[in-house]
A and B are shown apart, each in its own frame.
Chain A
Amino acid sequence: MLKDKLMRSFFVSLWFAVLTFPIMVVRVNTIEDTVTWRWGNLIMVLFGSFVLSFLWSIALERKSTGSKKQTIVSKTFNNLRATVSDNRNIKLALVAIILLFVVIFPFITSFYQMSIMNTALMYVMLGLGLNIVIGLGGILHLGYIAFFLVGSYSYALLNIHFGLNFWLALPIGGFLALILGILIAVPVLRLRGDYLAIVTLAFGEITRIVVENWSSLTGGPSGIRSIPRPAIPGLDLNLTDTAKLVYFIMIVLAALTIFITIRLKDSRIGRALIAMREDEIACQSMGINTTRMKVIAFALGSVFAGVAGVVFAANTTFINPASFTIWESVMVLLIVVLGGMGSIPGVVVAALVIKLLPEYLRAFSQYRMLVFGAVLIIMMIFKPDGLLPEKRKHYSFTDDDKAEMKAEGK
């Protein structure tokens, strides 16, 4: 067995060395007409790919043989999670600690860290919004960022032309995104699976391209600048104070989003959405109007993106179409998948990790995409349900038929 693996890894490394030979070893200097042979690189490639391939095969084997047995780490982690979710006191304490941290955070950190956190919180909101569409409803929506764009531009434009202030723009941005969401949903959602993904992707790009080319209204590729920051009438806020204000706005909005999605997931509508994700045909045959459910999921998800978009525009004071590319949609999708489809804590954690980590690992910024890619592949193989997989609600019953019903959700 071990010998097989070693042989395999050896051939993998040979193959890899051959593949990378032209770029890693040969260097042609066209000016002096000389060729440098960097044999040191060859040895490094051989050695590195051999070790990685060997580790990989060991990991794969452990995964396939030990699928039932848990590793110590995942066991303690699962136990911990169960204890936390079962024990009301621990849960409360945890919430209290998080709350305390949330409140004092802006007073113990720098301006820089706060603005990173503000962006991260927007992605928490986006992730949770998309989680309704993809995580609960199972609709592969690749144009989600378009609704973020709609929120941003509706604040920017309404402010420039009509002097609309930030606080009014919040609900209006959400509302406009909702309207657009419903308008798009009705024709698009008759499609299924891959077709739906392609159409939503196209929709996202079309929205961005329209904004980019409609220069008379939107300022085209150069965007809109000097958008007013959020303000409290009668108070004179400097830059740091405003960042704190945005932070607390985002905290409230994120908390509201969490609250709504938690309420949703164990409700009649939420369960219907999950059933649709699990099996669309069976879902219809259980009496659920799946077209209607899709519109609901799409529309709800859009609202959160629209509202987050308003805050985004106000926070950066400058927006242009380049902030709303397909890549941003993919980032949000990544957050949902990494966190665990349908899992609210998972999505929150994933949003924070994905937006915060790269900022603290600036040194590696050129490898960011590489790392994301690698992490995603590893996740899909070893933890396909995400960081914190969705857990369904459990109910307890007293087994006495005649007794008063004691069906209580936990």
Chain B
Amino acid sequence: MAVLEVNDLTMDFGGLRAVDRVNLEVNDGEIVALIGPNGAGKTTFFNCVTGVYKPTGGQVKIAPPNGSPEEIQGVQPHKITHKGLARTFQNIRLFQNMTVLENVMIGRHSRLHSGIGGAIFRGKKTREEEKQLIFDSYQILKKIGLEKWVNEQAKNLPYGEQRRLEIARALATDPFLLLLDEPAAGMNPHETTSLVDLILKLREEEGVSVLLIEHDMSLVMILSERIYVMDYGKRIAAGTPAQVKKDPVVIKAYLGEDIDA
């Protein structure tokens, strides 16, 4: 069953068609990769799905495992997050001056309720909500392996850990689908290996489906069950890693780049 189904998604920037009638599907519990050369339109595709851009055309349908299916194209980003899609960013966008724990706490915002009155009077309900929030956020940090940084400002984290914190923060929103935009970019081989373990673990334990953009081919080949390939805004291939690897169209798009790397 598809938790995400994108039909004919199109995004124009003035005269530039960055995403051109792309179809894509993610099934429940699947790890799917979206690859393609730089400037192919992968990040733009993510931005359309998560509401950062309003797509020029096409549909984005979601079917949460425990909810009713609906179309979400053009819906505001915070509402889409609330519906269960969470993302990370290619160029890290953490809340730099907040602590690691607070970054995760922000992720839980849309699942909680206390308002201004609660903040000022700090009644029993607010205090309990806050306590639970601190506890839950800490558990998430432990799961991702960031608990030793709990009170550190996000900007002081090593690069690889910042990428993991982005994942922790996304996870805190209780998603059924994680969209990861180049999660391994800038990581060393050791960090990449533990990232693979983490993503597999999250699918196992949290039951999330994953759609990831990645440049690192070896990572994509290990991790994903299916791969979509984009070039110049168009979807040029789709299939299992083995199929995609042999596809002449893909090889041509990556001319000069070694797919087996």
Contact = CB atoms under 8 A, between A and B. Distances in A.
A407 B110 CA distance: 21
Q: Which of A260, A268, A284, A300 has the most CB of B within 10 A?
A: A268
A266 to B, nearest CB: 8
Contacts of B95: 274-275, 278-279, 282-283
Interface string B98-141: 11011001110111101110111010001001110111001000
A278 B98 contact: yes
Contact of B150 (A279, A390, A397, A405): A397
B173 A407 contact: no
Interface string A219-260: 000000000000000000000000000000000000000001
Interface in A260-308: 260, 263-264, 267-272, 274-275, 278-279, 281-290, 296, 300
A263 B98 contact: no
B104 to A, nearest CB: 10
B243 interface: no
Given A268-B119, A271-B105, A296-B116, A284 B78 contact: yes
A270 B52 CA distance: 23
Contacts, number: 124
Contacts of B135: 405, 407
B112 A282 contact: no
B115 A269 contact: yes
A114 B119 CA distance: 33
Contact of A285 (B81, B126, B134): B81
Contacts of A264: 116, 119-120
Contacts of B218: none
Given A284-B76, A285-B50, A392 B131 contact: no
Contacts of B111: 287
A269 B112 CA distance: 10
B78 A275 contact: no
A117 B16 CA distance: 61
Nearest to A274: B98
Contacts of A270: 119
A263 B105 CA distance: 17
Contacts of A395: 101, 134, 138, 150-151
Contact of A289 (B78, B107, B130, B147): B78
A392 B153 contact: yes
Given A282-B95, A407-B135, A288 B106 contact: yes
A381 to B, nearest CB: 19
A43 B26 CA distance: 78
Interface in B73-108: 76-78, 81-82, 86-87, 89, 93-99, 101-102, 105-107
A279 B134 contact: no
Nearest to A267: B119
A394 interface: yes
Contacts of B52: 281, 284-285
Contacts of A405: 131, 135
Interface string A195-206: 000000000000
A392 B156 CA distance: 14
Contacts of A282: 89, 93-95
Q: Which of A260, A264, A282, A289 has the most CB of B within 10 A?
A: A282
A263 B120 contact: yes
Interface in A76-93: none
B116 A269 contact: yes
B116 to A, nearest CB: 6
Q: Which of A267, A279, A286, A296 has the most CB of B within 10 A?
A: A286
Interface string A12-30: 0000000000000000000
Contact of A287 (B107, B119, B130, B138): B107
Contacts of B164: none
Contact of A392 (B81, B93, B102, B116): B102
Contacts of A390: 97
A296 B99 CA distance: 23
A287 B98 contact: no
A288 B78 contact: yes
A278 B99 CA distance: 12
Contact of A267 (B51, B94, B118, B131): B118
Interface in A37-70: none
A271 B76 contact: no
B106 A271 contact: yes
Contacts of A275: 95, 98, 106
A269 B101 CA distance: 16
Contacts of B118: 267-268
Interface string B171-188: 001000000000000000
A281 B97 contact: no
Interface of B: 50-52, 76-78, 81-82, 86-87, 89, 93-99, 101-102, 105-107, 109-112, 114-116, 118-120, 122, 126, 129-131, 133-135, 138, 147, 150-151, 153, 169, 173
8 contacts: A274-B102, A279-B95, A283-B106, A284-B52, A285-B78, A289-B76, A392-B153, A395-B150
Given A286-B78, A405-B135, 14 more contacts: A263-B120, A268-B109, A268-B119, A274-B97, A281-B52, A283-B95, A284-B76, A287-B109, A393-B102, A395-B134, A395-B150, A405-B131, A407-B131, A407-B138
